[in-house]
Amino acid sequence: MALLALALPVAGFLWFLQAAAAPPAGGALRAEGIAVLTGGADRVETGLRLLLADGEARLIVSGAHRDATLQDLVRVAGLPPDVADAVAGRATVGHDAASTRGNAAEIAAWARREGIGSVRVVTAGYHMPRALLELRRALPPGVALLPHPVTPAPMRGRAGLREWRLLAGEYLKLLGAWLGLSRPGPALNPERGLAPRPGATQDARP
Identify whether 77 is part of a domain. Answer: yes
pLDDT attached to residue 162: 81
- Is residue 205 in some structural domain? no
Domains: count for the chain = 1
Query: Cα–Cα distance between 72 and 84 in angstroms, integer?
Result: 9
Residue numbers of the domain that contains 84: 28-152+159-178
The CATH code of the domain that includes 137 is: 3.40.50.620
From the number of C-beta atoms within 10 Å of its C-beta (0-12, 13-18, 19+), residue 7 rates as exposed
Q: What angle do CA 65, 67, 70 make, to 5 degrees?
A: 85
Reported pTM = 0.82
Residues with Cβ within 8 Å of residue 74, at least 6 apart in sequence: 48, 80, 81, 83, 84
Domain assignment present for 195:
no
Is residue 140 a part of any domain in this protein?
A: yes
200 belongs to a structural domain:
no
Query: DSSP letters along 73-123, please?
Result: HHHHTT--THHHHHHGGGEEE----SSHHHHHHHHHHHHHHHT--EEEEEE
Does some domain include residue 102?
yes
Beta bridge partners of 148: 122
User: In tens digits, what is the pLDDT along the chain, a chain of 206 residues?
Assistant: 666 556 777 788 888 888 888 888 876 789 999 999 998 889 999 999 999 999 999 999 999 999 999 999 999 999 999 999 999 999 999 999 999 999 999 999 999 999 999 999 999 999 999 999 999 999 999 999 999 999 876 666 677 778 889 889 999 999 999 988 876 655 443 333 333 333 333 333 44
Has residue 86 been placed in a domain?
yes
Residue 5 lies in a domain: no
